[in-house]
Amino acid sequence: MNAIPNVTIRVTKVLATYNSGKMRFSGVPVCPNTHQKLSKRDFYLITATPEQAVFEPEIGQVWKINGEAYTEEKPSYKKHGVDLFHEIRRAKQCVCVLPKTEDAFIAFIKEIAAFKGVGAKWAKKLWTEFKLETLKHMEHRRAATLETVVTPNIAKSLINGYSKYRNLKYATWLTSKEIPIKIQKMIFEFQPISNEIRIHQSGYKYAIDPRTIIEENPYILASSFSMGFFDVDKLVRRKFEPNILSEDPRRMIAAVSEAIRLCVKGDYETGGHTTVPYKKLLKALTEILQETEQLASIDKSYTKPLFTMEELAITALQAHQKDAYVIYPDGQYQLTPTYLMENVIALRMLNMKSQIVTFGEEESEACKKAFDLSPFPLLSKQKEAVFTAIESSISAIIGGAGTGKTTVLHAVLTAFEALGYVSDASLCPDKTTTNHNIKTMALSCRAAKRMRDCINKSSDGSRRERQISATSIAQFIHQTVIEDAEGKYLVVIDEASMLDVATMYNIITNIHPNVRILLVGDHYQLPPIGGGNVLADVVNSGVIPTVELDIVKRQKGNSGIPEYSKFVREGTVPPKLSSGAVYFHEVESDFIADKCASLFALSPLDSMVVGSTNAVVKEVNKFCQDEVNPDGERYAEGKHSDFIKIVLGGLRQGDSVLFKENISLDVTNGSLGKLVSVECKKDTFGLVVMDDDDIEVRLEEEIMPALMLGYSMTVHKAQGSQFPIVIIALAGGYIDRSWLYTAITRAECELHIVSTKKKLLTAINKPPSALGRRTRLKMLLQEGADQI
């Protein structure tokens, strides 16, 4: 092991970012001044904590490193002799270096992907004109100054590309104040900070300094950036204002914001609210202040307040800080961002409802065409749903399993196509025949794929001439902005019961007010995990045109699952707990996981076990793995971190795997795949082929924490997807009627419920917890409708 005082490297690969708890990147040595490559035989692998690196590495950047290196000689594969690999496992210092010479600046512009299109030619001209001032012009977004040398597009590219480095000098200060990297990133992305420009008396423009904002009010880290109040309070006393008073208004506003967040979040049974009543908030706030006061009292500089924590809490709740929260006349408290989102949603919906949509001969003919082309004869209620969608700017189609929502949606889309909601194929950017004027989406990629198949294909096998795409909501939000001046666009949101306030807000702010919206779903299913209950509020408000399909249509070879689910939906115990393709297996709690695995093994390719808790899911996954993949090849022993060893130790080649976090727009929380390779090479840990569209995912270290066995999943992850055979592991946890109903409706052909009889009956009889959610959207819609 050799001590390396300082080495300057150019990053060639990023292996792990702060999400995995440490920075890992590799690079080659460069000259400290010119940043030109020094050696073709030396390679560096750097590991550092986020606090040491203070900045996320990126390919092309230059870093100055200090630490002790383990050097290993390896035969060169590209040239004769040996290459030297230097691994610095605990860097003492990691600093991203900005250019200070002409050669270094040209290399900086040339190597960093964010400056693509600028090139060495423009970089040289800029340096000749401005020297080091070039970086200041880029930092302070002085486009006019840059445009004296380069084109407007190049100036824009330089300013946008430099946005990350604009914050480099702030990152060191923020780290010295012990502000976590994750919070730093939020600060730099915060629009009022990242976009605000001020003008100096000299006339020069300059960007706002986040250090000033935080020094003025360090509690903004809690009230605006979701850093825990306990952590912020300790930070303020240690790094900013040791003698701060307990009743300081800045501290009180942050404490109230924290209490509101905790109350609305709650747990499965008590969470999902968007507002909090005074009494509940007072109790939570008092507890927060008591705990923080106990911690603060340890410090010698602590000054004991003259009043109790409850008195302090009462005083704090009487303050009205609109920047952080709002107080309603009925004593409900709401965080300002949530207040804005619910109001924006309500105003958009009310505005759309007020729009006059003519229903004339053309619309009538479009509906008739849709009915004629429907693979099944539509019932009167189903036809009503089609008419309502056509004559409304915004509407909802709701109904339980087997009531024909998919059939109706197929007819609705056919009618809209007949009305001209079809993009010009010659103008399509992807040169395909996809109809881009109708956008359909579901929460997960798997659900979107299923939706795409259903809406484009009839039961007789015929397909639409112009295919209608379906994406996940995340893909839509990140990739789609609809500017529709002519009013010929339609957005369809399936499984709308899963919509929380934040998601609905992001959707509507991505589309023009002329874009029509159709919500499709079942508000008796589980509500969203996040705050709000959009579909239920829309339906229960009675304001937005809604048609409920309430007749379960029997079909040839009917499984009996829709009828069974209807009983559960209504809170009625089915006449028979086993009926048709529904099988109830009465098993004692200790043997539920074992029984589920045995049932899964009978048809592993078509089955999914839905568990009531994460603990149940974990247990069932292990049993299923032993049943269907006992001899799968395991990962070889290697020099991995302890956490990675735990993850790898639980996986075998051939396993079904599930991603429990969003990895990309194509691989989201709940996506399933198969582990087809356990070969570790080039900093990857094998290969997963996804069930959806055969996407391949190479497993890098930062992805591994999101991976788990996928034979079983919670109902929240299963929601929006369906499987031929569903096995419900009904054990432990909080289970109500909506949970059970949602789990049952995941099954297409066959359903197995594994539980004690008492647990099953209790779940059927227990009213949905969502009935107690406190939201404001329903009231806003009703109050707004009265004023129209």
Q: What is the pLDDT of residues 603-640, one digit of tens each?
A: 999 999 999 899 999 999 999 999 999 999 988 876 55
- As a CATH number, domain 561-755 is 3.40.50.300
Using pLDDT thresholds of 50, 70 and 90, give the confidence band for residue 124.
Answer: very high
pLDDT for res 710: 95
pLDDT at 199 over 70: no
Domain boundaries, the chain: 2-97, 104-163, 168-214, 217-331, 348-553, 561-755
- As a CATH number, domain 104-163 is 1.10.150
**120 closest CA partner among 150, 96, 162:** 150
Higher pLDDT, 207 or 274: 274
**DSSP designation for 85:** E
Rounded Cα gap, residues 219 and 227, in angstroms: 9
pLDDT for res 600: 97
Q: Looking at the DSSP assignment, which residues form a beta bridge with residue 753?
A: 584, 728
**673 closest CA partner among 648, 641, 702, 695:** 695
Compute the average pLDDT of residues 710-736: 91
pLDDT for res 448: 82
Rounded Cα gap, residues 421 and 417, in angstroms: 5
Q: Please compute, for residue 213, the number of CA atoms within 13 A of its CA located in the half-sphere on the CB side.
A: 17
pLDDT for res 483: 77
* Beta-carbon count within 10 A of 39 CB: 11
Rounded Cα gap, residues 788 and 786, in angstroms: 6
Using pLDDT thresholds of 50, 70 and 90, give the confidence band for residue 431.
Answer: very low
Range from 94-103, 410-419, 511-520 carrying the lowest mean pLDDT: 94-103
Higher pLDDT, 301 or 126: 126
| Pair 562, 585: CB distance under 8 Å | no
pLDDT for res 366: 94
Give the best-scoring range by mean pLDDT among 269-278, 372-381, 636-645, 743-752.
743-752
pLDDT for res 20: 60
**741 closest CA partner among 398, 400, 396, 496:** 400
Q: Please compute, for residue 503, the number of CA atoms within 13 A of its CA located in the half-sphere on the CB side.
A: 24
pLDDT at 682 over 70: no
pLDDT for res 460: 62
Rg (CA), the chain: 30
Q: Which fold has domain 2-97?
A: OB fold (Dihydrolipoamide Acetyltransferase, E2P) (2.40.50)
pLDDT for res 197: 52
Judging by DSSP bridges, how do beta strands 468-472 and 435-442 pair with one another?
parallel
- The encoded tokens of residue 394 equal 């915004």
Tell me the three state secondary structure of residue 42. Answer: strand
pLDDT at 739 over 90: yes
pLDDT at 548 over 90: yes
Tell me the three state secondary structure of residue 63. Answer: strand
| Pair 263, 277: CB distance under 8 Å | no
* Beta-carbon count within 10 A of 548 CB: 16
Compute the average pLDDT of residues 170-192: 77
pLDDT for res 593: 95
| Pair 190, 123: CB distance under 8 Å | no
* Beta-carbon count within 10 A of 507 CB: 23
pLDDT at 535 over 90: yes
Tell me the three state secondary structure of residue 33. Answer: coil
| Pair 728, 754: CB distance under 8 Å | yes
Higher pLDDT, 760 or 685: 760
Range from 47-61, 439-453, 569-583 carrying the lowest mean pLDDT: 47-61
Query: What does the mean pLDDT of the chain come to?
Result: 86
Rounded Cα gap, residues 493 and 35, in angstroms: 51
pLDDT for res 459: 58
Q: Which distant-in-sequence residues (6+ apart) come within 8 Å of 151 by Cβ?
A: none
Q: Where are the alpha helices (DSSP H) in 28-101?
A: 50-53
pLDDT for res 284: 93
Compute the average pLDDT of residues 270-299: 88
Q: Where are the alpha helices (DSSP H) in 529-686?
A: 534-541, 561-569, 592-602, 614-628, 642-649
Report angle CA 472, 738, 619 to the nearest 5 degrees.
80
| Pair 617, 596: CB distance under 8 Å | no
Give the best-scoring range by mean pLDDT among 41-50, 158-167, 639-648, 735-744.
735-744
For residue 267, CA distances in Å to 262, 527, 547, 761 come to: 10, 13, 32, 23
* Beta-carbon count within 10 A of 698 CB: 13
pLDDT for res 131: 92
pLDDT at 18 over 70: no
Q: Looking at the DSSP assignment, which residues form a beta bridge with residue 440?
A: 470, 492
pLDDT for res 672: 92
| CATH fold match for the domains 348-553 and 561-755 | yes
Domain spanning 348-553: CATH 3.40.50.300? yes
pLDDT at 388 over 70: yes
pLDDT for res 161: 87
Rounded Cα gap, residues 649 and 658, in angstroms: 16
pLDDT tens digit sequence for 227-271? 899 999 999 988 999 888 888 989 999 999 999 999 998 765 678
pLDDT tens digit sequence for 61-88? 999 988 888 888 888 766 677 888 888 8
Compute the average pLDDT of residues 701-710: 86
Using pLDDT thresholds of 50, 70 and 90, give the confidence band for residue 652.
Answer: very high
What is the amino acid identity at position 574?
Answer: P
